[in-house]
A and B are shown apart, each in its own frame.
Chain A
């Protein structure tokens, strides 16, 4: 498992929660057992292939404001950890 201080190179597949501010990732898969949450994320446009950028991080480190599909969305780190992305 990658730890959060390690540098992530482009093309690597990691959890979305590991990306830093300003970095972008392309969604590879949603691994979520919570059906309602998974559907909510899909509804908000987090589908395979979509690009997500880390925009703002709350002052206490969580939640995180991400940008996708021309709008912004706030998510908790724990939920972002279940979204696998390919770093761009």
Chain B
């Protein structure tokens, strides 16, 4: 049995989906969390639940609505569960009236019933059930109340038959019946649904309508002095208004209206602070800075050296508290050297030892150093999303973003993109306006994602010491400036002069649920670790392999045959000229290889560099004097190389997501080329400064 889950954005749909299927889809307190349809099974049954994107209507104008509409009409689900936010019934039932016209049997799940009771909203379920002639179950997806009851209805298929409820006055209904007859004659499925749509003015089936029916449509529309679309929308709301009088009252709202602002809700009170005319922007800056300082500054500084010691061994470790550095003795063999030593002791060949210590552990470990700070970053992002603050930020910044050809809603992709560009790019789908949406999709990869963090931290940590955090922070600001600049360029030259819109909601503030935040963080960290264990591991082994053998398949032992003769050096050398300008004129095959592997995954830039450095010399600290491959870097070229890696084409995963959102491989490639070209230009300009200084006899 196939059950389609349909409801408004932010109605608790994904929460219900998770409760029904035991899956762990992402839940957020901002509209549009479900961006594609997702499927799951109810345990121990043959029931498949399909979670459709959150929608308000079944109009043909937006992609989400088209996806949902096509699914309901063409995939013939056995049942629709229409999840309805019981705290804003009027608007929610608007979609319900449309779903009822599809003829598919339906259960209305009145969600957030716990809040309904708390707020003294009175809903007469029996009357509502009778008026809509459909099955109604009250639930609270969040607390789990009523879910069993709902499941029982589904399992037993204890559902009223959908008899195509008529909600229109007789004059309009008569015309709809004529339209339906014409469509039925033409053998069109879902004739009632399409009759209403044709009345609204959709063209698809207009050719089947007889001229006399057309005349009737025009007459009734003239009588009401509205076109079909407006008339149907008005009549739906009229029907709901009537229903409201009979079966539900929202006492709280009525009381509040009478007392006029005397008793503000929590959300209104908090908004007085977070959306205060003067305080809002400073608060926003402080919150974002806190997120950064907590994760990268505090936790990052305190843990990187420790995790590195676990992988690669150490005698002492370093704690960096915003530039205050102190060291502590910490003697540990480390996984890499430990495994290597053990392999040696059992008589393994030198290349096998090298594969494990230099290839696998060094490469993967370089990426894992950043896990503690990522966990903190993910916790912060999850809190921003679930509390409802994220929606405030987009409300707050829309005015600015709008000027730059973006939407306030672009902020969600950008902030989510700090974690990972892929969900960031997907989140751009909630933006109404096509141009703003495309611009957001193309620009989201500019945000330094969590995989780029290792690049920033490694370079900045070595070259900028005390000011490392400042340099890292500067990349986020640079990213924002670049995004706004390109926004305006695209608005002026590519997407000229079209009208754009912003329609959104400010969800109520919610106390974040510990379980959700926990699950979300475990999920995201798991995904990061999974990459470290799969794609990064493979890539590190490939880099190790190419770096350990020559064209003649001779092992690079570091004494007779040097790494500069390796396959990797040969491959890298063919690309090195591209990177020479940003590296102050240095032809570095190592840097070229690192940048190329960054296409597979951005973390791999540092993974490759660490592997290459480990192959070239034992126990070498990256970028130090002893690191013969990368010791040419100076602060300027380091900054240039970081810029290139941050702003160039994102990883393959993000490119795939871009392709989906932009709709074609061609647009994706164009965007990737544009991103990379821009990154190259910026990096080369910065790198050239180093060139000029050294050419003039200066040292860096």
Residues in B with CB closer than 8 Å to A72 are 505-506
**Of B226, B237, B261, B432, which one neighbours A69 at CB under 8 angstroms?**
B237
| Cα of A71 to Cα of B400 in the assembled complex, Å | 26
B209 part of interface (Cβ distance < 8 Å): no
Q: Which residue of A lies closest to B88 (CB)?
A: A71
Query: Closest CB-CB distance, B503 to chain A, in whole Å?
Result: 6
Tell me whether B432 and A63 are in contact (CB under 8 A). Answer: no
Residues in B with CB closer than 8 Å to A47 are 230, 233-234, 237
Residues in A with CB closer than 8 Å to B253 are 70
| Cα of A16 to Cα of B413 in the assembled complex, Å | 30
B89 part of interface (Cβ distance < 8 Å): yes
Q: Mark A14-49, 1 if CB is under 8 A from B, else 0.
A: 000000001000000010001111111111110111
Tell me whether A74 and B396 are in contact (CB under 8 A). Answer: no
Tell me whether B61 and A35 are in contact (CB under 8 A). Answer: yes
Tell me whether A79 and B501 are in contact (CB under 8 A). Answer: yes
Tell me whether B230 and A42 are in contact (CB under 8 A). Answer: yes
A1 part of interface (Cβ distance < 8 Å): no
B499 part of interface (Cβ distance < 8 Å): yes
Give me the interface of B with A, judged by CB distance under 8 Å. Answer: 56-57, 59, 61-62, 88-91, 94, 226, 229-230, 233-234, 237, 250, 253, 261, 271, 275-278, 280-281, 395-400, 402, 408, 432, 499, 501-506
Residues in B with CB closer than 8 Å to A58 are 275, 395-396, 398-399
Tell me whether B61 and A59 are in contact (CB under 8 A). Answer: no
**Of B91, B271, B277, B503, which one neighbours A40 at CB under 8 angstroms?**
B503
Q: Mark A45-76, 1 if CB is under 8 A from B, else 0.
A: 10111100000101111110100011111111
Most buried by A among B89, B90, B91, B278: B91
Residues in B with CB closer than 8 Å to A71 are 88, 90-91, 505
Tell me whether A59 and B230 are in contact (CB under 8 A). Answer: no
| Cα of A74 to Cα of B395 in the assembled complex, Å | 8
Query: Closest CB-CB distance, B399 to chain A, in whole Å?
Result: 4
Residues in A with CB closer than 8 Å to B502 are 63, 74-76, 79
Most buried by B among A59, A63, A76: A59
Residues in A with CB closer than 8 Å to B90 are 45, 69-71
Q: Which residue of A lies closest to B57 (CB)?
A: A43
Q: Which residue of A lies closest to B95 (CB)?
A: A43
Tell me whether A42 and B233 are in contact (CB under 8 A). Answer: yes
Query: Closest CB-CB distance, A6 to chain B, in whole Å?
Result: 22
| Cα of A49 to Cα of B89 in the assembled complex, Å | 19
* Other A-B pairs beyond A43-B56, A45-B237, A70-B90, 10, CB < 8 Å: A34-B499, A42-B230, A42-B234, A47-B237, A59-B278, A61-B399, A69-B237, A72-B505, A74-B395, A79-B503
Q: Which residue of B lies closest to A71 (CB)?
A: B88
A-side interface residues, number (CB < 8 Å): 36
Residues in B with CB closer than 8 Å to A30 are 230
Tell me whether B503 and A74 are in contact (CB under 8 A). Answer: yes
List 18 contacting pairs A-B, 8 Å CB cutoff, sorted by A. A36-B59, A36-B62, A37-B432, A39-B57, A42-B230, A48-B234, A58-B275, A60-B396, A63-B399, A63-B502, A63-B504, A70-B88, A70-B91, A70-B253, A74-B502, A78-B499, A79-B501, A79-B502
Residues in B with CB closer than 8 Å to A56 are 271, 275, 506
Residues in A with CB closer than 8 Å to B59 are 36, 39-40, 43
Residues in B with CB closer than 8 Å to A78 are 499
Query: Closest CB-CB distance, A66 to chain B, in whole Å?
Result: 11
Residues in A with CB closer than 8 Å to B402 are 62, 76
Given A62-B398, A63-B408, is A45 in contact with B226 using a C-beta cutoff of 8 Å?
A: no
Query: Closest CB-CB distance, A5 to chain B, in whole Å?
Result: 18
Tell me whether A59 and B280 are in contact (CB under 8 A). Answer: yes
Residues in A with CB closer than 8 Å to B275 are 56, 58-59
Q: Which residue of A lies closest to B278 (CB)?
A: A59
| Cα of A69 to Cα of B504 in the assembled complex, Å | 15
Tell me whether B88 and A63 are in contact (CB under 8 A). Answer: no
Residues in B with CB closer than 8 Å to A37 are 432, 499, 501
**Of A38, A45, A59, A76, which one neighbours B94 at CB under 8 angstroms?**
A45
Tell me whether A76 and B398 are in contact (CB under 8 A). Answer: yes
| Cα of A45 to Cα of B261 in the assembled complex, Å | 24
| Cα of A70 to Cα of B280 in the assembled complex, Å | 26
| Cα of A82 to Cα of B397 in the assembled complex, Å | 22
**Of B229, B237, B398, which one neighbours A39 at CB under 8 angstroms?**
B229
Shortest 8 CB-CB contacts between residues of A and residues of B: A42-B233, A43-B57, A71-B88, A60-B399, A36-B61, A59-B280, A69-B90, A47-B234
Q: Which residue of B lies closest to A58 (CB)?
A: B395
**Of A44, A59, A73, which one neighbours B281 at CB under 8 angstroms?**
A59
